[in-house]
Amino acid sequence: MSIGHPAAQLRDDALSRARFEFRWEDQFNLSLDPETARSYHDETLPKEAHKLAHFCSMCGPKFCSMRISHDIRAEARAAGMEQMAERYRDGGDLYVPQSELLAEGTAR
Ligand code: SF4
């Protein structure tokens, strides 16, 4: 549909940025069918406050990969990028041990 359209990439990039920054209203408005996009979102998260949420109903708040990416970035900024790079350089702990999740109460 948008192949060859000069603004297609700009629009797609803008939509991606809005998605990653959880700007839900911008996402709806940049979509090809804003009303349908908004209605799909509102089927499960209808409140206005949900338009500010850093997750949607697909993965939920605990497993939203974009929220987790933001959290990791914030942690890296706080810890200093070099310290975080060192942590992950030798295999790191990308996978949290189940015992740790159980202790946090985020796993069964
Ligand atoms: S919950 Fe999943 S689908 Fe929804 S915004 Fe987060 S990563 Fe995307």
Cα of 71 from ligand 1 centre, angstroms:
14
Ligand 1 pocket: which residues have CB below 6 Å? 55-56, 58-59, 64-66
pLDDT of 25 above 70? yes
pLDDT of amino acid 101: 79
Structure confidence at residue 5 as a pLDDT band (50, 70, 90)? confident
pLDDT of 75 above 80? yes
Rounded to a whole number of angstroms, the CA Rg of the chain reads 18
Confidence (pTM): 0.71
**pLDDT tens, 49-58?**
999 999 999 9
pLDDT of amino acid 3: 76
Minimum mean pLDDT among 8-22, 53-67, 80-94: which range? 80-94
In residues, how long is the chain?
108
Structure confidence at residue 97 as a pLDDT band (50, 70, 90)? confident
pLDDT of amino acid 94: 64
Cα of 57 from ligand 1 centre, angstroms:
7
Q: How far apart are CA 45 and CA 92, in angstroms?
A: 36
Q: Which residues does 106 contact at the CB level (< 8 Å), separation at least 6?
A: 62
